[in-house]
Amino acid sequence: MARRIPLPRLTNRQRIARWQRERRQQAIYIVVFSSILFFVIGLAAWAASDKYYQDNLKAAMRIDGRAVPMRDYKSELKYELARFYVEFGVPAGSENDPQLDQQKASYERTALDTIEEYSLLDIQAKADGVTVAPDTIDARYNEDWSQYRSRHILIQINKDAPDQALEASNALAKATAIRDQLRQDPNNQTLWNQLAKDNSDDPGTKDSGGELGWVGKGQFVKEFENAVKALPVGAISDPVKSDFGYHIIQVEERKGPEAHEVVKKWLASGFTLAYIKRHTRYDVLRDEFTTKRQDAAVTSPTAQVHVAMIQVAAPKPVGGDFQAFSAQLKKVNDIATALQSGTDFGDVAKQYSEDAATKDKGGDLGWIARGMLTDLAAENEIFTLDAGKISQQHNGLNNTTWYKVIEKSDSRALDDDQKSKIKDNAYQYWLNQQKKAHDVLRLIPGLEFE
């Protein structure tokens, strides 16, 4: 049997020293573990905070040096996409279908354009002391998103008739007679069917009693919509004249915004009614400033420049088609080279320009007054250039353009087409001026340029 060797006994001092050594080792382990734990937690917190910053607080754009946060852009993008899904009939659950990526990408620019416009409208409204009353917002919201079901009978005016006044008078008399018949029994479906079939010049509805189905604002001509707005349900309208002829209209039903599929989609997506009406407020402001700018836009006579133009689509690889991109890029380079070498501007326009209205005329765009172009840089340059000079290449989001000044006038009367063009452009022209005045800087990669 092996002899057991006794272990040496530790003195109290040795036991205390060993205990202290073990405590120091434990403390080191705790410090190291805690440091690693705090580092990991800190790293995770930093990553989370950085993601929060990138998604919410990072500037999507700056206006007058003030940041417009990314959360505003992302919220607007979600809002725009919700509308897109409804209007394009995207089935629920298919929102992330890769086939929609290209269409959805265009809404990224739309969302950024929108928050840019809204910011500028707020600045101008504050400067002008313009406010929009809640009642005005509510009325506009109801007008924009309510729907109605209607039917009509259309009596056309033959535009080829030699006596237009007589033709219009006969059409009005016929429409009035139909109105009188319908007012005797407004809801008689058999009567509607017969009168529509025998008289209506609308091929799409004459065989269905004039039924137009459920529609909302903006789907019919202005004259028709204005009549519908004032027409009680069930009543028969007086003859309503539009470019199509005379309409006899009946509104059969109405339903409010809460029944509109787009509004329902917005609410289901987490947007509040207040958020939706916030957009309505900006629609009201846009209309108000449009009217103001149109009223102030036309001054005649005024300085004008007679210009020619070469315009082609801006080179960009759409849908990964780099061959088409390369071909368009070559065309732009060929135009620039030809102009630099002194080739006649008109000949270059006839060979290369993609603007159908001016190409065969050597690019002749006619007389231009301020406000007819919305590209402020191009406008400023052509009004500065001497006759015979060619502008620099102007690169827009959709087009690349060159101009040549043919002649200039310090005071020339505007014709009706010019006045109409200036009025049509008035709001966008003003908006572009505001972008420049307030140093708008777009910061989202790929969306920096307009």
Instruction: Please report whether residue 3 resides in a domain.
Output: no
Instruction: Please report whether residue 10 resides in a domain.
Output: no
Task: In whole angstroms, give the CA distance from residue 310 to residue 393.
Answer: 10
Q: Is the domain of 369 the same as that of 317?
A: yes
Domain termination site, one of 255, 289, 310: 255
Residue 189 lies in domain: 147-255
Report CA 159 to chain centroid distance, whole Å. Answer: 36
Q: Is the domain of 141 the same as that of 261?
A: yes
Instruction: Please report whether residue 4 resides in a domain.
Output: no
Report the CATH number at residue 425: 1.10.4030
Task: In whole angstroms, give the CA distance from residue 443 to residue 59.
Answer: 7
Report CA 176 to chain centroid distance, whole Å. Answer: 41
Q: Is the domain of 315 the same as that of 374?
A: yes
HSE-CB for 100 with a 13 A CA cutoff: 14
**Greatest Cα pair distance in the chain:** 140
Q: Is the domain of 227 the same as that of 173?
A: yes
Instruction: Please report whether residue 6 resides in a domain.
Output: no
Instruction: Please report whether residue 11 resides in a domain.
Output: no
**Amino acid letter, 246:** Y
Q: Token pair of 448, please?
A: 């920096």
Q: Is the domain of 154 the same as that of 246?
A: yes
Domain termination site, one of 225, 255, 285: 255
Q: Is the domain of 180 the same as that of 206?
A: yes
Domain termination site, one of 232, 255, 278: 255
Report the CATH number at residue 381: 3.10.50.40
Residue where the block lists tokens 């002829």: 245
Q: Is the domain of 33 the same as that of 100?
A: no
Using omega within 30 degrees of 0 as the cis cutoff, is the peptide bond preceding 301 cis? yes
**pTM score, whole prediction:** 0.80
CB atoms within 10 A of CB 447: 18
**Buried-state track 114-146, b at ≥16 Cβ within 10 A, e below 16:** bbbbbbbbebbbeeeeeebeeeebeebbeebbb
Cβ contacts of 26-29, under 8 Å, gap ≥ 24? none
Block means of pLDDT (10 residues each) for the chain, 450 residues, are 58 73 78 76 60 69 94 96 93 86 90 96 96 97 96 95 93 97 97 97 96 94 95 97 97 96 96 97 97 92 97 81 87 96 97 96 97 95 97 93 97 96 96 96 85
Q: Is the domain of 154 the same as that of 241?
A: yes
Instruction: Please report whether residue 389 resides in a domain.
Output: yes
Instruction: Please report whether residue 80 resides in a domain.
Output: yes
Q: Is the domain of 71 the same as that of 129?
A: yes
Instruction: Please report whether residue 390 resides in a domain.
Output: yes
Asked if residue 419 lies in contact with residue 304, where contact means CB atoms within 8 angstroms, the answer is: no
Closest by CA position to 77, among listed 51, 110, 119: 110
CB atoms within 10 A of CB 212: 21
Q: Is the domain of 73 the same as that of 154?
A: no
Domain total in the chain = 4
Asked if residue 333 lies in contact with residue 315, where contact means CB atoms within 8 angstroms, the answer is: no
Q: Is the domain of 211 the same as that of 139?
A: no
Task: In whole angstroms, give the CA distance from residue 106 to residue 163.
Answer: 50
pLDDT at 286: 97
Report CA 335 to chain centroid distance, whole Å. Answer: 32
Q: Is the dihedral of CA 99, 105, 110, 111 positive or negative?
A: positive
CA-CA-CA-CA dihedral for 207, 210, 211, 214, to nearest 10:
140
Q: Is the domain of 335 the same as that of 438?
A: no
